[in-house]
Amino acid sequence: GPPAPERVLFPPTFSVSEIKNKQRRHFMFLRWKQQQRKEKLAAKKKRRKEREALGDKAPPKAIPKTIENQRIYDETTVDPNDEEVAFDEATDEFAPYFNRQTVPKILITTSDRPRGRTVRFCEQLSTVIPNSHVYYRRGLALKRIIPQCIARDFTDLIVINEDRKIPNGMLLSHLPDGPTAHFRMSSVRLRKEIKRKGKEPTEHIPEVILNNFTTRLGHSIGRMFASLFPHDPQFIGRQVATFHNQRDYIFFRFHRYIFKSEKKVGIQELGPRFTLKLRSLQKGTFDSKFGEYEWIHKRREMDTSRRKFHL
């Protein structure tokens, strides 16, 4: 019999991209787009009618795909009941903090010659983190500061790196031999730039919220953040510092909350806000040459998939 035409359309349609004239091509493309939209709307309406017609027997609504839904499963995701993780955490560098043997004492400093914005940011950061001190650096090598800090009982060191008068990097180092994390900082907003902000943060110890730190790496970073704050939050102060991880970006916010009823809470933002993205995690204290890196962000390997996150 006659050969069955498999892919030929009758009549043959021109695809929009074959038109050489840019104006006409643009025009045809818009027309095609409108048509698509109309079809989509019509399909939606039809589906809705069908759903209403079926009533109770309708199939459940499809869950929209989000990046969080589609995230590639990471093998290092921490299971809350995992014993190995619990054991590791009981014996790692933060154990003395979590066993309440040490009280956090933080040293905040900057890179050389900080400019106004960074200076103000450091001051505000020191009001947010209790028991923290700001010291300015004039040409001192980090490697020399660190033994001095350890001698004076500091538990953590924060170095804010500055570029073109704005802070753009943060180095967080847990001192007696602890891990060092290097972050890229962005979207820094000082207190006066925050809209509808409250008054100054008081001296009360804030609560800490750590959201979405799911993998092993995320867990250790989360513990690093938690070890910055003293253990017993003073609920009188009603302040809360939040580190929220979303798609490998850690958002820091500082709020004051108030419970209006048991189902409603109002929060008001005080304090600076910034976003961090982890660049590298080093095992010991800061050492750029001989340090042992636990994790480095390698762009070519790690940025290949849009749905793969590491924290």
Name the residues that contact another protein, by CB under 8 A: 66-68, 112, 139, 141, 184, 186-187, 198-199, 202, 204, 207, 209, 211, 235-238, 240, 242, 244, 246-249, 251, 253, 255-263, 265-268, 275, 277, 299
Task: Pick between residue 82 and residue 112 the one whose CB is nearest to another protein.
Answer: 112
In whole angstroms, the minimum distance from the beta carbon of 302 to another protein comes to 12
Region of residue 212 (phi > 0: left; psi between -120 and 50: alpha; otherwise: beta): left
In whole angstroms, the minimum distance from the beta carbon of 161 to another protein comes to 11
Closest listed residue to residue 256, CA positions, set 264, 268, 244, 241: 268
In whole angstroms, the minimum distance from the beta carbon of 236 to another protein comes to 4
CB 156 within 8 A of CB 106: yes
Q: Report cis status (omega within 30 of 0) of the bond before 11.
A: yes
Task: Pick between residue 69 and residue 101 the one whose CB is nearest to another protein.
Answer: 69
In whole angstroms, the minimum distance from the beta carbon of 46 to another protein comes to 30
Task: Pick between residue 89 and residue 269 the one whose CB is nearest to another protein.
Answer: 269
CB 133 within 8 A of CB 157: no
Task: Pick between residue 132 and residue 161 the one whose CB is nearest to another protein.
Answer: 161
Q: Residue type at 111?
A: S
In whole angstroms, the minimum distance from the beta carbon of 32 to another protein comes to 27
Element (H or E) spanning 107, and its range? strand 106-110
Q: Residue type at 207?
A: E
Task: Pick between residue 93 and residue 167 the one whose CB is nearest to another protein.
Answer: 167
DSSP codes, 176-209: TT--EEEEEEEEEE-GGGSTT--S---SSPPEEE
